[in-house]
Structure 1
Amino acid sequence: MGYTIEHINKAIKSDFVQREGGSSWIEHLLMDSRKVVYPETSLFFAIKSERNDGHRYLQDVYDAGVRNFIIEKDSIVSISILAQLKDANILSVSNSLTALQQLSAWHRSQFAIPIVGITGSNGKTIVKEWLHQLLRDDVHIVRNPKSYNSQVGVPLSVWQLGEQHNLGLFEAGISKPGEMENLQRIIQPNIGIFTMLGEAHDEGFSDREEKLAEKFKLFTKADIVIACDEQPLVARKLEQFKQQHPNVKLYTWSRVNEHAQLYLQTIIQGNTTTIQSRSGSRILSVRIPFTDEASIENACTCFAFLMCLQRASTDILSRFEELQSVEMRMQLKEGINNCVVINDSYSSDLHSLRIALDFVEQQSAGYKRTLIVSDILESGKEELELYTEVAKLIRQKGIQRLIGIGSIIAKHAMLFDSSAVFYSDTKAFTEHFSAVDYANEIILLKGARKFQFEKIGKLLEKRVHETVMEINLNALVHNLNVYRSKLKPGVKLMAMVKAFSYGAGSYEIAKVLEFNRIDYLTVAYADEGVILRKAGIKSPIMVMNPEVSSFDTILEYNLEPEMYNFFILDQLVKAADGQEVSIHIEVDAGMKRLGFDEDQIETLISTLKKYPNIRIKSVFAHLAASEEKKHDEFTHQQITTYKRIAEQITDAFEYPILQHILNSSGIVRFPDAQFDMVRLGIGLYGIDPSVGLQKQLQPIGTLKTVVSQLRNVKAHETIGYSRKGIVNKDSLIATVAIGYADGFNRKLGNGKGTMLVNGQRVPTIGSICMDMTMLDVTGMDLKEGDEVIIFGNENDLNSVADKIGTIPYEVLTSISQRVKRVYYYE
């Protein structure tokens, strides 16, 4: 969804400084000059901050292709710079950040759907993500990406609202007074959720009471507010809020106050917790796969939300048992030397440390307990008071090894056990790090963001020494929605998941597409369809290359075969023996591959009318060259021929029959031929053969491997089979764990192919082996186990295909199934 620049000008009440870019269509909001992805449809906000000024980067953004800008009236922008921004639209406002918020608030006002606003000191992201997990099968939800809950993050999140959504979940975070009013105007929640009050950002407020009052400003115009009243300060605030806003309904839950609207009991059993509510004689309960206090609190909040809104169906409640940890919080990963690493370097305050240590306690059976903690920057307490509490908490939770990082915690070393070790910063820690010092431990990383504990995590987390294909499911959905946005109302979408979904996977991809309401799935062979059915896929599935021997399977698993000649149709009739079966008719409109010819159509119609058990679901044809402009005349001829044949068939039957001819590039280049449905293939996986949409698409796959061994090779020595790799100087050679058996083409050997190692492009050297490839990494600072990227965001798949004279389809589908596919949501 987007708006013209004129609409935006009116919405934010700006002034045109320059209007030379035409009536631009804006879909993307941009603040970072380094993150230009969709220049044609982006609007750049030159935002001033304490550390930077977006006006410095106007030229860079313009050079990247952006032609729509918002600048501040009092900014010192050189006239010469503005003169350079030819054919651009430039709007002037008093404050660019305010303009961003105003635009997002105006966008929000275009929708009349339930919007949930979530705030609190802790648990906002988890509650939001868990509500999404519980409800995503029933409603189309828009929510903050990750924890985008700031003055910039919230407007960017709300900007995602589209006509396809029927529920919004937005979290709001503040660090000082005066911020929540802005977020309230943007989110405009009609349902409010307050999680818990904690110590985070205490330093930004005069006291905890002021912070609580500021947070509750999110709910001033809400219809309902849901909160836990166990904390006395929160309970008092709820009473006060009720008096000040009598029209707002309050719904409270508690495990200690039996007079709350929802009284809950929690029972920990092994590795699970049961949450029970009693309403008269009715008892409702859910089970969660967690026993730590943080998870219990957050699950109770989600349960209260469902009860309040009367969404506590048996189906939804059963999903509590399948709740998954939110990766941004307390990530639990396998570590080196039989260690377990818990990464909770997301927030840094005493309350979150307490909850994280509770989580360690739950997970620590059989492990030595280790805490690596930085200076705590979000407590609001005096240093001595704070670290006295930290030391007491550490002793209470049975921490056996403490490593403190930061000058402040080191200053209070006398409060801790004499065995504790302190470092001035993360760099000092990493310089003294030795992997052999860590074994059979559960290690909690609890650091403020500025300490960059991700560097410590990389040292402690176990490396996976294998070649993997990482599949970004967010990108898959993004690409799906890009093409959906090009369709006329009512046009259906068929997704191609044949050939292992172009190398991306099978049911994993199909499940995502089905969840995103794809109309049809298409496979090449019946076996592929059976795999999907066994994985629980219920969407209609067309089989493009049905074999006669597979007809029994097709009938058993409710697959829909393509019919392209009389022989295969006759065999299906015999196999069906009166059983109902749906088919898809392929006609030849110029591809000259498979399909009924036009002079066969009358016979086809009369044949099919003899067998009412065989029902035509669609009539389709293939375009031969829709991506190439030089063949447009031929493509138009194909479309005309197809239309004539398809109408002849559909007119002969009384029931509706779908028509479709467009593929990925056809969707972009021939929008008038969308008919009833379109087929999305390679475009779904981030490749637009026509190039017209390429900048809007995201690559979904990243092929990665690791350095298996590093070897110093002297000048004039040879490398690999047939001694084809020759070095002319002393060189460093890396052997990496991928070869032609994995799908890395042999033509990419001897310097023709490249890979990315630590962000640097390096050439192959010597012949590609079955399981290995050698790279010339001379001059680089590497170690064995370092990551190597064959293709992905940083190493374009098209360039890999060009080097071996093929197309991206072949590169993707050539990746062996022995290469593990790893699926993730960002």
Structure 2
Amino acid sequence: MSISLKNIIPVIGAKANIELATGIIDNVSIDSRSQQNNGRTLFFALVGPNHDAHVYINDLITKGVNSFVVNYIPDSINDKANFLVVENTLQALQNFAAYYRSLFNFPVIGITGSNGKTIVKEWLNFLLSPDYNIIRSPKSYNSQVGVPLSVIAINENHNLGIFEAGISTTGEMVYLQKVINPTIGILTNIGTAHDEGFVDISQKIKEKLRLFSDVEILIMNKNKTVQAFLKPEIKTFTWSTHDRNADVFCQIKSFENHSNLNLTYKKLCFSISIPFIDDASIENCMHCVLTMLYMHYNEETIQSRVSELFPVEMRLKVKNGINNCTLIDDSYSSDFQSLKIALDFLENQKQHKKRTLILSDIFQSGLSDEELYSRVSQLIISHKIKRVICIGETIVRYKSKFLNSIAFASTKDFIKAFDSLEFNNETILIKGSRQFEFENIVSLLEEKTHETVLEINLNAISHNLNYFKSKLKPKTKVMVMVKAFGYGSGSFEIAKLLSHHKVDYLGVAFADEGIELRKAGIELPIMVMNPEMTSFSSMIQYNLEPEIYSIRELKAFLKIADQKELVNYPIHIKINTGMNRLGFDTLVIPELVSILKGITSVKIKSILSHLASSDVSSHKEFTLTQISDFERDSSFIMKELKINPIRHICNTSGISNFPDAQYDMVRLGIGLYGVSNDEDEMLLLENVGTLKSVISQIRDINEGQSVGYSRRFIAENKTRVATVPIGYADGISRAWGNGVGYVVVNNQKAPIIGSICMDMLMVDVTGINCTEGTSVVIFGKDPSVVEIAKGIKTIPYEILTSISGRVKRVFYRE
């Protein structure tokens, strides 16, 4: 890309802040964190219901970015950069992408549906890449923002595009159609995803079909409901497993680990074998087969390539590695766009100063090898990668472009040399095309733990934070609680994300939690809510700020402060307004004031209290009394000491239920992790943690046989029993067992039967299609931690914080 700002202005309908904006753009960005932002970047300051990227503009200018598309020009920087002012920056991004798409004339496949979009896209890329130079959506970039960014990556050497489009409500697809402008359409499965954004299924279908308004062919599973909404001029190419009038008729024969598909197309009959038995994979495969047929592939090529299809990993995952390493696993794809995304993700994981990239040959860049690896070299330098391990016959030839590089012709050669490479105390990005089988490298580097994992969705954390921030007054600060190992989710990774979002404070319970965050490089102010007096010296050493809640504690801290000759060290005064846990009672406050008058060693940074029942509507009057008492006592302290500190009393439920009590700051806790006491609000939050395991063993038992300790379950009929390697030592309450709770196996509920054991639980999988090794969801969207908490009469906090440290945490971005 090389486009002048002068040409961009009319395309997006902008007004420039200077008479004629100057400069050439070769990069478009919406992410202020990206190390790829530079003087030739055009930054679109997107504004959403819960965020406003305009706040990052000043920081970006200091980093060298000098061209912005904005809704407004922030104060005092009008003359510091090129500002293209538009009414809506998102629409401006889409208009620019549509214009850029119009500059290229080659076939483009557009994919939409409720499920299977990303898998079909990745499989088509695999099936067609031997014959085309393909540009495709990286990962699952299918949103109103992701689609334009995907299309903008096209270059003059591409000759086929594959882009997916996802929508969540009406009125969205019309914009994506203009950006993608597909020539070939694929409609995947229509399911229940995002049903809440549509009146009914017919409205959803009509909206999705807008993507295909100008295609030359639409590939789809023959469906009378869908076809009723199709415009007559849209030509279809259909398949079916039951309707012989479809263009391609498919008969399925499934075996233990593969399926044979017998296809009839015109006068042609042939069979293909795929390494899957589930309905979703068969449906996704059929869309790919019809695409190949439409593009005139012969049956031998289709048979050969389809037999090599593979499971698609759509996430960047953060894992614990050997020797105190952190792994970023992106071991199933290697293209230039996804490398840029992975490196930006790496930038957000600064747990280690030393960073290593293991990289395979890169395919389908649309660039010559010389230009491609020169650009890769520039990316690596900008991201301060300390060591590059190149694997592949092509990249090896360009290893001199990378500082401190080691080269291997194959993954097998790397594995042979593994013991000599010395991986320790570093972050390792593993980025490779599937044919290099980098999963074997991940297996070598990954810390060995059992198969139970807690997956943490970092995108959901960002969404929930922005949701609650949208409820705040513009100047209200945010403290986020990351105590108790980040409510069981992992404190450092979440703290790092919160640093990017510029929250004002982090809250921990004890000093050692704060010390670990400091050692991991977290620089945000950290308040210790329950400091032990024996930890005061360590807190001062690591610049942690104590909550002071009693005269005894205050005197102890002042004594150490004097010994260390501190000046204005920040402390936080806790007032008891009815929680009756910690805090200064009203009668003690005059003594508190008298001690602090004239003291210079400490400074009251904030005054706080704690709402005891802000989540219970029947206790509203009690909560209002707490707020009133806080106002009285905090005002007295401020007046007597002539100070103006931050005041805060609202917790998560207080933010939503008592907006008038926001004061200067709020404390966000469980809401960040997707939990609310309000059912309507829960629908607006995203699930953060999904606890998964696998089936270890399956057996059939007869009527009268028992399962588990104390024989608490006796089979009334022949029952299929699956054992899952997770138990109460991992944090699963025994109260959730023996018919009370369930897990989810292949999207079906499997009741827990018998007593939950220390390391295992057993479930009834009668009638559920599963095998040993099948994935099991313990909690996530279903069952949610809220549902489990209700079932065993506790609170979601206890469910989340009970998950044992021996359960591996895996962090990922969608």
TM-score, structure 1 as length reference: 0.53
| C-alpha contact 2:529 2:546 (8 A) present in aligned 1 | yes
- 1:493 lines up with 2:478 in the alignment: yes
Tell me, in whole angstroms, the C-alpha distance in 1 between the residues paired with 2:799 and 2:40: 37
Shift of 1:746: 0.3
Aligned in 2, Cα 1:588/1:187: closer, same or farther, shift over 3 Å?
closer
For residues 55-86 of structure 1, give each alpha carbon's deviation from its aligned partner in whole angstroms, at most 9, with x where no partner exists.
Answer: xxxxxxxxxxxxxxxxxxxxxxxxxxxxxxxx
- 1:521 lines up with 2:506 in the alignment: yes
Tell me, in whole angstroms, the C-alpha distance in 1 between the residues paired with 2:708 and 2:677: 36
For residues 357-391 of structure 1, give each alpha carbon's deviation from its aligned partner in whole angstroms, at most 9, with x where no partner exists.
Answer: 999x976536399xxxxxxxxxxxxxxxxxxxxxx
For residues 143-167 of structure 1, give each alpha carbon's deviation from its aligned partner in whole angstroms, at most 9, with x where no partner exists.
Answer: 89xxxxxxxxxx9999987544547
Tell me, in whole angstroms, the C-alpha distance in 2 between the residues paired with 1:585 and 1:515: 28
Counterpart of 1:538? Answer: 523
Tell me, in whole angstroms, the C-alpha distance in 1 between the residues paired with 2:744 and 2:22: 43
- 1:365 lines up with 2:410 in the alignment: yes
Tell me, in whole angstroms, the C-alpha distance in 1 between the residues paired with 2:32 and 2:580: 51
Alignment length (residue pairs): 510
Aligned in 2, Cα 1:565/1:760: closer, same or farther, shift over 3 Å?
same
Counterpart of 1:615? Answer: 603
Tell me, in whole angstroms, the C-alpha distance in 2 between the residues paired with 1:729 and 1:625: 47
| C-alpha contact 2:50 2:469 (8 A) present in aligned 1 | no
Counterpart of 1:763? Answer: 751
Shift of 1:689: 2.2
Aligned in 2, Cα 1:811/1:187: closer, same or farther, shift over 3 Å?
closer
**Helix, strand or coil: the match of 2:486?**
helix
Q: Match for 1:715: what amino acid?
A: E
Match of 1:653 among 635, 641, 666: 641
Aligned in 2, Cα 1:729/1:141: closer, same or farther, shift over 3 Å?
farther
Q: 5+ unaligned residues in a row in structure 1: which ranges? A: 1-103, 145-154, 205-213, 218-285, 306-315, 326-331, 333-339, 343-352, 370-441, 447-452, 454-461
Aligned in 2, Cα 1:358/1:576: closer, same or farther, shift over 3 Å?
closer
| C-alpha contact 1:471 1:823 (8 A) present in aligned 2 | yes
Tell me, in whole angstroms, the C-alpha distance in 2 between the residues paired with 1:820 and 1:523: 22
For residues 222-277 of structure 1, give each alpha carbon's deviation from its aligned partner in whole angstroms, at most 9, with x where no partner exists.
Answer: xxxxxxxxxxxxxxxxxxxxxxxxxxxxxxxxxxxxxxxxxxxxxxxxxxxxxxxx
- 1:197 lines up with 2:156 in the alignment: yes
Counterpart of 1:134? Answer: 35
- 1:812 lines up with 2:713 in the alignment: no
Shift of 1:771: 0.2
Counterpart of 2:764? Answer: 776
| C-alpha contact 1:749 1:768 (8 A) present in aligned 2 | yes
What aligned pairs does 1:704-743 form with structure 2 within 5 A after superposition? 704-743=692-731
| C-alpha contact 1:140 1:165 (8 A) present in aligned 2 | no
| C-alpha contact 2:47 2:53 (8 A) present in aligned 1 | no
Tell me, in whole angstroms, the C-alpha distance in 2 between the residues paired with 1:109 and 1:323: 45
For residues 627-658 of structure 1, give each alpha carbon's deviation from its aligned partner in whole angstroms, at most 9, with x where no partner exists.
Answer: 12211111111111101111111223344311
Q: Match for 2:794: what amino acid?
A: T
TM-score, structure 2 as length reference: 0.54
| C-alpha contact 1:465 1:785 (8 A) present in aligned 2 | no
Tell me, in whole angstroms, the C-alpha distance in 1 between the residues paired with 2:502 and 2:23: 24
- 1:702 lines up with 2:690 in the alignment: yes
What aligned pairs does 1:200-239 form with structure 2 within 5 A after superposition? 200-201=159-160
What aligned pairs does 1:46-57 form with structure 2 within 5 A after superposition? none
- 1:505 lines up with 2:490 in the alignment: yes
Match of 1:671 among 654, 659, 662: 659
Tell me, in whole angstroms, the C-alpha distance in 2 between the residues paired with 1:203 and 1:639: 56
Match of 2:619 among 628, 631, 639: 631
Q: Match for 2:566: what amino acid?
A: Q
Tell me, in whole angstroms, the C-alpha distance in 1 between the residues paired with 2:782 and 2:609: 36
Q: Match for 1:648: what amino acid?
A: F
**Helix, strand or coil: the match of 2:462?**
helix
Match of 1:579 among 562, 566, 571: 566
Counterpart of 1:89? Answer: none
For residues 712-737 of structure 1, give each alpha carbon's deviation from its aligned partner in whole angstroms, at most 9, with x where no partner exists.
Answer: 11221111111112111221110001
For residues 404-430 of structure 1, give each alpha carbon's deviation from its aligned partner in whole angstroms, at most 9, with x where no partner exists.
Answer: xxxxxxxxxxxxxxxxxxxxxxxxxxx
Counterpart of 2:553? Answer: 568
Shift of 1:698: 0.7
Higher relative contact order (CA 8 A, sep 6+): 2
Shift of 1:536: 0.7
Tell me, in whole angstroms, the C-alpha distance in 2 between the residues paired with 1:539 and 1:137: 26
Shift of 1:611: 2.6
- 1:791 lines up with 2:779 in the alignment: yes
**Helix, strand or coil: the match of 2:753?**
coil
Q: Match for 2:412: what amino acid?
A: Y
Shift of 1:200: 2.7
Match of 2:383 among 319, 322, 331: 319
| C-alpha contact 1:117 1:193 (8 A) present in aligned 2 | no
**Helix, strand or coil: the match of 1:594?**
coil
CA RMSD of aligned residues (A): 5.3
Tell me, in whole angstroms, the C-alpha distance in 1 between the residues paired with 2:44 and 2:636: 47
- 1:483 lines up with 2:468 in the alignment: yes
**Helix, strand or coil: the match of 1:367?**
helix
Counterpart of 2:225? Answer: none
Tell me, in whole angstroms, the C-alpha distance in 1 between the residues paired with 2:550 and 2:631: 19
Aligned in 2, Cα 1:143/1:159: closer, same or farther, shift over 3 Å?
farther
Counterpart of 2:117? Answer: none
Shift of 1:444: 5.9
Shift of 1:579: 2.3
Aligned in 2, Cα 1:611/1:324: closer, same or farther, shift over 3 Å?
farther
Counterpart of 1:26? Answer: none
- 1:600 lines up with 2:501 in the alignment: no
Aligned in 2, Cα 1:355/1:160: closer, same or farther, shift over 3 Å?
farther
Shift of 1:711: 1.1
Aligned in 2, Cα 1:656/1:301: closer, same or farther, shift over 3 Å?
farther
- 1:802 lines up with 2:790 in the alignment: yes
Counterpart of 1:79? Answer: none
Tell me, in whole angstroms, the C-alpha distance in 2 between the residues paired with 1:110 and 1:669: 43
Q: Match for 1:767: what amino acid?
A: S
Q: Match for 1:522: what amino acid?
A: G
Tell me, in whole angstroms, the C-alpha distance in 2 between the residues paired with 1:762 and 1:354: 49
**Helix, strand or coil: the match of 1:764?**
strand
Match of 2:458 among 473, 477, 480: 473
Shift of 1:132: 5.3
Taking only the aligned residue pairs, the percentage that are identical comes to 41
Q: Match for 2:456: what amino acid?
A: I
Counterpart of 1:750? Answer: 738
Aligned in 2, Cα 1:626/1:142: closer, same or farther, shift over 3 Å?
farther
What aligned pairs does 1:406-445 form with structure 2 within 5 A after superposition? 445=434
Q: Match for 2:451: what amino acid?
A: E
For residues 441-470 of structure 1, give each alpha carbon's deviation from its aligned partner in whole angstroms, at most 9, with x where no partner exists.
Answer: x99658xxxxxx9xxxxxxxx998511100
Aligned in 2, Cα 1:304/1:732: closer, same or farther, shift over 3 Å?
closer
Q: Match for 1:367: what amino acid?
A: K
